[in-house]
Amino acid sequence: MVQKLKIAAAGLGRMGARHAINFLHRTPRAELVAAFTPDLKELAWAKITLEPHGVKLYTDYDEMIKQEGLQAVVIATATSVHAEEAIKAMHQGLHVLCEKPLSTSIPVCKQVLDEALKHPHLKVMCGFSRRFDESYRDAWDKMDRGLIGRPTIIRSQTCDKHDPSGFFVEYAAWSGGVFVDMSVHDIDLALWFLGDDIQVKSVSAYGVRAVQPELAKYNDYDNAMGIVEFWNGRVANFYCSRMMAHGQEDVTEIIGTEGKLTVNGNPQKNFVNHYGPQGVTREVPAHYYGRFEQAFVAEANDFAAACLDNTALPLKLRNAVKAVEIGALLQEALVQGVQIRLNEAGQRVAEASVSKL
């Protein structure tokens, strides 16, 4: 019989449930054998949806990761416990696929990274779904084949459909801020397309509270824009927003010396156009999962393959840390209203030296 990766799911909230289902039904080389949630509603869902397929359910994470034969865990609990759970899993000798971010705290991110370095035989990955998206992969291949010359500028945005319930106000209390929470995807794309050895030279950022003024209490914004200049003559321009009326719009442009690639330039839910008195209309996905569902499926499959075959993961854990670091710089530039400058060694350059002009 075929050998399958025995994996457990930690956290069965919105994203956790999707990971569980993907490993259960859409990852031929994996077998979901366990799931953990401290939430009773989620547990009830799991009893109906997962248990009949032979998935053992737990309300205690520590107990679950000791299940005999378990080889890996996918972590999609609250961000605040991602790091701790990842480290415990590594201690148990488990491969780890962790929802982004590892943590909103850079030192905590680094603890996970340090722990992973001690277990070189384990696959530890922080899931940046766009790396597994067919369109992004095709764009990367085209760039890699030289189609646009030397990639120089990246413009990338993560823009959510406006949720007027105000849910994201409270969420801002612990999300790390919009740049860490949302733009981290775009920053990861910058590392992927411009090279993960790029070093930040300067960061500026601006934001507005256009639809949710209460975000002020958490020093956060509903729209933010920032520019990151790198030391090798490359620039990234990011935009994140929670205010889109039309749906999810995640657009990326990679501009090279001899051409340009765009991904998602024309957001669309499907291939239908409606022609009526208003003109021609197409719909837009309401949420990121409407756009990236197949990328999450590919992520699960690629992770399983890397664990079983002991092959390289398509993205490095230290980049996940670097993406959060850059996100945090943007967030600081945004909140403090300053331009942050770093030398080539990555150290802060005193503002005073800048302002002597």
Please, which of residues 219-238 interact with its own copies by CB under 8 A? 223, 225-227, 229, 233-235, 237
Cα 56 to chain center, whole Å? 28
Q: Which of 57, 81, 87, 243 binds its own copies (CB under 8 A)?
A: 243
Q: Which of 57, 81, 87, 153 binds its own copies (CB under 8 A)?
A: 153
Question: Is residue 135 involved in binding its own copies (CB under 8 A)?
Answer: yes
Closest contact distance (angstroms) between CB of 32 and its own copies is 11
Cβ-contact 226, 330 below 8 angstroms: yes
* Per-residue x/- track, 73-112, its own copies (CB under 8 A): ----------------------------------------
Angle between helices 40-49 and 14-25 (to 10 degrees): 20
Single residue of 1, 173, 312, 345 touching its own copies by CB under 8 A: 1
Element (H, E) at 52: none
Identity of the residue, 81 or 255, whose beta carbon is nearer to its own copies in the bound complex? 255
Binding residues for its own copies, how many (CB under 8 A)?
88
Q: How many CA atoms lie within 13 A of 340 on its CB side?
A: 25
Q: Which of 40, 69, 120, 275 binds its own copies (CB under 8 A)?
A: 275
Cα separation, 339 vs 137, whole angstroms: 33
Residues from 175 through 214 that contact its own copies (CB under 8 A): 202, 204-211
Considering only residues 17-36, where is the footprint of its own copies by CB under 8 A?
Answer: 24-26, 28
Pick the piece of the chain touching its own copies (CB under 8 A) from 50-58, 64-72, 81-89, 313-321. 50-58
The contact mask relative to its own copies for 284-303 (x = CB under 8 A, - = no) is x---------x---------
Task: Name the CA dihedral angle for 302, 303, 309, 311, rounded to a multiple of 10 degrees.
Answer: 80
Residue type, 105: S
- The DSSP code sequence of 200-221 is EEEEEEEEE-SS-GGGGGGT--
> Nearest approach, Cβ of 259 to its own copies (angstroms)?
4
Q: What are phi and psi of 5, to 5 degrees?
A: -75, 120
Binders of its own copies among residues 115 to 134 (CB under 8 A) are 134
CB of 344 to its own copies, least distance (A): 15
Pick out residues in 310-339 that bind its own copies (CB under 8 A).
336-339
In eight-state DSSP terms, residue 53 is G
In the complex, minimum distance from the CB of residue 120 to its own copies, in angstroms, rounded to a whole number: 30
**Two structure tokens written together for 327:** 């996100």
Q: Report, in Å, the least distance between residue 83 CB and its own copies.
A: 28
CA distance 304 to 314: 12
Select the span of 56-64, 97-105, 141-149, 174-182 touching its own copies (CB under 8 A).
141-149
In this structure, the strands spanning 95-99 and 124-127 are parallel
Distances, alpha carbon 18 to alpha carbons 10, 40, 46, 337, in Å: 12, 17, 12, 38
Q: Which is nearer to its own copies, 63 or 197 (CB)?
A: 197
Nearest CB to its own copies, comparing residues 137 and 318: 137
Structure tokens at 265: 């330039």
Task: Find out whether 257 and 152 touch, Cβ atoms under 8 Å.
Answer: yes
Q: What is the DSSP letter of 55?
A: P
By CB under 8 A, name the one of 40, 312, 345, 352 that touches its own copies.
352
Residues of this chain, 158-177, that bind its own copies according to CB under 8 A: none
